Structure 1
Amino acid sequence: MSKLWQARFFTTVNHLRDLPRTTVPEIAFAGRSNAGKSTAINILCNQKGLAFASKTPGRTQHINFFSIGGAHVAMHRKDETNQAEIRCLLADLPGYGYAEVSGDAKLHWQRLLGDYVQRREQLAALVLIMDARRPFTDLDIQMLEWFAPSGKPIHCILTKADKLNRNESVNILRQTQAKLDSYVDEDGVGFPFTVQLFSALKRIGIEEATAKIEQLVGLDIDPPTPEDLDPPEAPDDEQ
């Protein structure tokens, strides 16, 4: 069973000062409104109502955090989350759709998202959700360029891949990877950016995305047991 299935709501924040005071790694999910971000999160976590999509694109201005570990699976369970046992946090970032949003709300979004992806030490990686038919909108590029200087991994999930034929799928993968490869550090070394196809409808790419996300936050490594943490007993002195 995927460890992502353990996901449950942890907290929501609207200001950086309210970010969780945890030290576990975080992985953020970002994407333009209507790219299928909420659907992808729900499919990967095997829960229908974990992530909610706003009916009005761009209206949701909060970061929603979901915990992995520290509680029984399923959101409806009432048991408290044991924060000491949380393995990582998933951060669902606001979808960036500006059509129906005021200027003040746009500025708030830019500050919240920009500061979070650029300054959050616990943020281990970014999952960028893009419509496979329309990747790299201006706002996708802005998100990439906010996060790229960190040198941390970005995994691009191209949703709605069922809308593409075989040749289109091959071409969009090649073009997207080429775009990602164009980002290099000051020494000309490429960043750890990867891409895959995904379809919630046809259930394409779920296992690939799950394995990548678990690897990026260390869920592919079993946590140490209490026995591992206890120092070995010193041998008795020889008489």
Structure 2
Amino acid sequence: MGIELDFPAVLERWPNFLGGAILTLELAFFATVLGAFLGTLAAVGRRSHSLLIARTCKVYVEAIRNTPLLVQIFLVYFGLASIGLKLSAFTVAVAALTINVGAYTAEIMRAGFDAIPRGQLEAAEGLALSRLQIYWHIILLPAVERVYPALTSQFVLLMLASSVCSQISAEELTAVANYIQSDTYRAFETYIIIAVLYIFLSLVMRAGFWGLGFVLFPRRRRLGTPL
């Protein structure tokens, strides 16, 4: 008994696939930007001299890294609804993904901070640079340069993980696939197409991050260090 594949019946829904892919990229973009900011703040907070700030950031990172993303999405979705905040599924998905990727970004950035030689910090203090100047020029920018490949991989994984947002009716790629396969009864063909689309989106994101790194880190480019 052979398998009869009917891709044309599924591919004629290409506007739905396109809309889902665009929404997936939008989710990834906003969550990446906000998550990078949140994660950097959390990494800085973990190095704070204030025990309260350092402990709070540590609890946030450990709590997020040790609970499933789907549970976090439900907590944000139902938690906001319980206090009377009626937000769109897209907004809730961005918030949940931001909180999630922020914790992983914090750990990656903390590793980057720890990789900065102590001698550089002492030299900066000897030059009477302000605390803000030291953090920006001596710690933050070199740290980002060191961990940029790890950040790139994490943000691509975030885009792939956004598929669970279909559980709160966010119309991203997986939600579109669920709708199409239930309408056409062509589940196998639908998910083959979705898998190919996710691979394509991953390659697009990696190319985008490579181009961004090519511009931001000319020293890595001169040395031929992978971005």
TM above 0.5: no
Scaled to the shorter chain, the TM-score interval is: under 0.3
Q: Which has the higher strand share?
A: 1
Q: Which has the higher helix share?
A: 2
Normalising by structure 2, what TM-score?
A: 0.26
Normalising by structure 1, what TM-score?
A: 0.25
Larger Rg: 2
